[in-house]
Amino acid sequence: MKEKSAKPKWWEQGVRFECQGSGRCCVSRGQYGFVYLTAEDRKRMGRLLKISTGEFTRKYCGKTDGVFHLKDGTGPDCIFLKNNRCEVYEARPIQCRTWPFWPEVMNAKTWAKEVAAFCPGVGKGDYVNAQDIRATLELQKKWEDDLVHGR
Ligand code: SF4
C-alpha cells in the first residue's frame, strides 16, 4: 500500500524571524514562565560560572513536579537577566536557544496569535528555512524528552 505523505507544514517556505534582543522571552510569561533545565543544561551553566553542577543546582535551581528549573528571583524576570542581557548567554539553556521554534507553538494559529503578539522578532530579518526550523524542533523535542526522563 502506498504510504500516505505527511501534510506540508505551514512553515515549509521558511519563516521570517530575527531576535530583537527585547528580553521578553526572559521575563515571566504565564504558561511559558519556568526556564526548565536538563542535567546537561545545569552542567554547562555551572561550567561557565566555574562551579560544579551540584553547586549550580543548589544555588540557582528549584524543582517542580520532579523537574528542575531556574529559581525565581525577586521579580518576574529570569535571575540571569541583567540590564536586558543574559548573563549566561553562551551557556544558556536549550529552551532559551530554541525559542520560538517550540513544537507546542509551531502551529499557524498559535504562531500568528500568541507568538507574534508576544515576541517582536516574529516577521523581522531573513527567512529561517524549513531545514533549520526542523532541526530546532528536533533539538527541542529531544530536550523535552530528556527533561521528563530526568536526564
Ligand atoms: S537564561 Fe538567559 S536567555 Fe534564558 S531566560 Fe534567563 S536571561 Fe533569558
Q: Is 142 helix (H, G, I), strand (E, B) or coil?
A: helix
Ligand 1 pocket, mutate which of 86, 89, 97, 99 (most atoms under 8 A from CB): 86
Alpha carbon distances (Å) from 121 to 19, 40, 61, 71 = 5, 27, 28, 26
At residue 28, does pLDDT exceed 90?
no
d(CA 115, CA 16): 13
Identify whether 18 is part of a domain. no
Tally Cβ neighbours within 10 Å of residue 132.
13
d(CA 16, CA 7): 21
The rounded mean pLDDT for the chain is: 90
CA of 89 to the centre of ligand 1 (A): 7
Identify whether 17 is part of a domain. no
Can you give the pLDDT at residue 73?
A: 75
Which residue segment(s) compose the domain that 72 sits in? 24-148
At residue 29, does pLDDT exceed 70?
no
133 lines ligand 1 (CB under 6 A): no
At residue 31, does pLDDT exceed 60?
no
Question: DSSP character for 103?
Answer: T
CA of 81 to the centre of ligand 1 (A): 6
Ligand 1 pocket, mutate which of 92, 94, 97 (most atoms under 8 A from CB): 92
Q: Is the dihedral of CA 96, 100, 104, 105 positive or negative?
A: positive
Identify whether 98 is part of a domain. yes
* Comparison of pLDDT for 110 and 74, the residue scoring more: 110
Query: Which alpha helices (H) appear in 17-129, and where do they start and end?
Result: 39-48, 53-60, 94-98, 108-110, 116-118
Identify whether 19 is part of a domain. no
What would the pLDDT profile of 83-138 be if each residue is shown by its tens digit?
888 999 999 999 999 999 999 999 999 999 999 999 999 999 999 999 999 999 99
CA of 145 to the centre of ligand 1 (A): 21
Q: Measuring CA to CA, which residue among 26, 24, 134 is closest to residue 70? A: 26
- What percentage of residues in the chain have a pLDDT greater than 90? 72
* Comparison of pLDDT for 76 and 101, the residue scoring more: 101
Identify whether 114 is part of a domain. yes
Can you give the pLDDT at residue 62?
A: 92
* Confidence category of residue 1, pLDDT binned at 50, 70, 90: low
Q: Which residues contact 31 (CB under 8 A, 6 or more apart)?
A: none
CA of 54 to the centre of ligand 1 (A): 20
Taking residues 66-95, what's their average pLDDT? 90
Identify whether 10 is part of a domain. no
Identify whether 14 is part of a domain. no
d(CA 44, CA 114): 31
* Comparison of pLDDT for 47 and 28, the residue scoring more: 47
At residue 40, does pLDDT exceed 60?
yes
Q: Work out how many domains the chain is built from and give that number.
A: 1
Identify whether 130 is part of a domain. yes
